[in-house]
Amino acid sequence: MKLRKVTAASAAVFALSLTATACGSGDGDSGSGNDGGKKITIGIKYDQPGLGLKTPDGKFTGFDVDVAKYVAKELGYAEGDIEFKETKSADRETALERGDVDFITATYSITDERKQKVDFAGPYLLAHQDLLIRADDNVTKGDDLNGKKLCSVTGSTSAQNVKDDFAPKAQLKQYGTYSECINGLQSGAVDALTTDDSILAGYASQDQYKGKFKLAGLKLSNENYGIGVKKGDTAMVDKINAALEKMVKEKAWDKAVQDNFGPAGYQNEPAPQIGNIVK
């Protein structure tokens, strides 16, 4: 790099600025847990009510958001130090590998395949694949869906899993978004929507849907939600796990569940133990 000549006064100012930077709180890269760092970037979903949602006024709400804020606080960051970054399902591993985010809290199920690329803290929630149905309908087992219209989003395996394992005569309907499935359920175009029960509860808890839908409570699979961290950053994993344990102990976890899922009558599992993956 070429440097221009500077005056003695300018050099002194430049030296002072470097000293101030060196003594500051860093560049915001939390890495292995840079407590009290200037900024922390957290990956979340922007389009999942009850879990990770960016509202029209620019606020962020949901259970994943509440968990992320609590963990960040325990790592030494004020709420104003948090930068939330939209992290879609297909982009999560890449975002961690590139360092675009410090950790991800975004309905991120812990799987053996994903653990080859990233490390996980948690789990912090045990969800299940379930069905959302109209409040006046009754579905008590998977084969009740035979002959009925079952909705999920394009690219999801949830509806196909139900057809393969429980209701081979179900009629699959694929829409672009869960919101479209919800609209179809409301109009009668479909009879049920399937994905994780936490996601379904988040949608059903929205003001415009309260009392119109309910979860069937079938528990068709186990989904252990973890907090994704860059591969090899075990120090960060340990600090996040300690924060999650404290969140449960202080009952802040229970409050977050009730605040975000309560209106849907979500029968959540108790807070999982750190490292306990339910198959």
- Can you give the CATH number for the domain in which 95 is found? 3.40.190.10
Is residue 35, in this structure, part of any structural domain at all?
A: no
Indicate if 115 and 241 belong to the same structural domain: yes
Asked whether the whole model's pTM tops 0.75, one would answer yes
Q: How far apart are CA 203 and CA 193, in angstroms?
A: 11
Is 3 a residue whose pLDDT tops 50? no
Q: How far is CA 110 from the centre of its chain?
A: 12
Indicate if 103 and 230 belong to the same structural domain: yes
Q: What is the average pLDDT across 171-182?
A: 89
Is residue 275, in this structure, part of any structural domain at all?
A: no
Indicate if 246 and 174 belong to the same structural domain: no
Helix 197-204 × helix 252-261 angle, to 10°: 60
| Total structural domains within the chain | 2
Q: What is the pLDDT of residue 155?
A: 63
Indicate if 56 and 179 belong to the same structural domain: no
pLDDT tens digits along 67-109: 999 999 999 999 999 999 999 888 999 999 999 999 999 999 9
With H, G, I as helix, E, B as strand and everything else as coil, classify residue 130: strand
Q: How far apart are CA 101 and CA 40, in angstroms?
A: 8
pLDDT tens digits along 158-170: 888 898 999 999 9
Tokens of 219: 């528990």
8 A C-beta contact, residue 160 and residue 203: no
Is residue 271, in this structure, part of any structural domain at all?
A: no
Is 147 a residue whose pLDDT tops 60? yes
Indicate if 113 and 247 belong to the same structural domain: yes
Domain housing 44: 40-127+223-264
DSSP class of residue 38 equals S
Q: What is the pLDDT of residue 126?
A: 97
Indicate if 211 and 192 belong to the same structural domain: yes
pLDDT tens digits along 211-259: 899 999 999 989 999 999 999 999 999 999 999 999 999 999 999 999 9
8 A C-beta contact, residue 44 and residue 84: yes
8 A C-beta contact, residue 106 and residue 44: yes
DSSP class of residue 3 equals -
Q: What is the pLDDT of residue 94?
A: 95
Q: What is the pLDDT of residue 181?
A: 93
Nearest CA to 159 among 151, 148, 168, 149? Answer: 151
Q: What is the pLDDT of residue 157?
A: 74
8 A C-beta contact, residue 243 and residue 66: no
Q: What is the pLDDT of residue 265?
A: 73
With H, G, I as helix, E, B as strand and everything else as coil, classify residue 201: helix
Average pLDDT over all residues of the chain: 86
Is 141 a residue whose pLDDT tops 60? yes
